[in-house]
């Protein structure tokens, strides 16, 4: 059952192995959708809206950048292509109460505002994470399958329509997220190597 954006705050936990655990609190005005299948939150940062999409059955998350009217906005472009969609290859989310957990698997896909021009980055970081044993074999395979699936969506021109079907882009006023101090991942055993559900 989907929740309205007036019902609760969510705390997002983004774990970057081996030790970096980032946490953000999104208030009720930022929670667009939160159910068993999809979580979508939207916050303002530097005058732009960032909409973060997570799935319980997909090995990626997607952050979209728009202006206050809902028009796609590109950023970056120094060492990479400019991008309006920042897609992280990650584990499907796990939800415990008002806490959402994902594990970043080091690969990223940057996509321009046209929804099809893209660039895969951080393959070297992904390889290093495997060499150091930060990812399991199952997570490696999940990441590669997620990457293939995401690129197929992008190359078929379905990315924007897929995201709009979840929630159309449009004018909005959102608060900034509350960034919490970095946390010790050992306080969250479900994120640790050997204990993660995706391990």
3-state secondary structure of 129: helix
Dist. CA 93–CA 50, nearest whole Å: 18
Q: pLDDT at position 4, please?
A: 45
pLDDT band at 46 (very low <50, low <70, confident <90, very high): confident
User: CA 85: distance to chain centroid?
Assistant: 10
Structure confidence by residue, pLDDT tens digits, 3-31: 444 467 999 999 999 999 999 999 999 99
Model confidence, pTM:
0.94
Residue 85 has pLDDT above 80, yes or no: yes
Decide: 146 and 108 in contact? Cβ < 8 Å: no
pLDDT in tens, 162-176: 999 999 999 988 999
Q: What pLDDT is stored for residue 77 in this prediction?
A: 78
Give me the pLDDT at residue 7, please.
65
Residues 94-129 pLDDT 10s: 999 999 999 999 999 999 999 999 999 999 999 999
Return the beta strands (E) in 37-177 as ranges.
Answer: 38-45, 48-55, 60-66, 85-90, 94-96, 99-111, 118-121
Read off the pLDDT band of 79 (50, 70, 90): confident
In this prediction, residue 2 carries a pLDDT of 46
Which pLDDT belongs to residue 91?
Answer: 98
Architecture of domain 10-175: Beta Barrel (2.40)
Q: Where are the domains of the chain?
A: 10-175
Query: Measuring CA to CA, which residue among 134, 137, 162 is closest to residue 60?
Result: 162
């Amino acid at each position: 059952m989907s929740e309205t954006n007036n019902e609760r705050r969510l705390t997002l936990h983004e774990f970057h192995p081996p030790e970096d655990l980032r946490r953000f609190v999104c208030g009720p005005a930022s929670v667009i959708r939160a159910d068993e299948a999809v979580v979508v939150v939207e916050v303002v940062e530097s005058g732009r809206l960032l909409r973060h999409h997570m799935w319980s059955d997909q090995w990626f998350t997607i952050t979209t950048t728009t202006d206050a009217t809902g028009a796609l906005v590109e950023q970056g472009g120094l060492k990479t292509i400019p991008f309006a969609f920042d897609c992280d290859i990650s584990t499907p989310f796990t939800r415990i109460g008002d806490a959402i957990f994902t594990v970043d698997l080091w690969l990223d896909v940057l996509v321009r505002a046209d929804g099809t021009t893209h660039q895969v980055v951080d393959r070297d970081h992904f390889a290093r994470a495997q060499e150091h044993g930060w990812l399991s074999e199952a997570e490696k395979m999940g990441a590669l399958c997620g990457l293939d699936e995401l690129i197929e969506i992008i190359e078929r021109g379905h990315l924007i329509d897929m995201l709009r079907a979840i929630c159309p882009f449009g004018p909005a006023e959102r608060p900034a997220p509350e960034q919490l101090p970095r946390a010790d991942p050992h306080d969250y055993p479900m994120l640790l190597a050997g204990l993660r559900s995706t391990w």
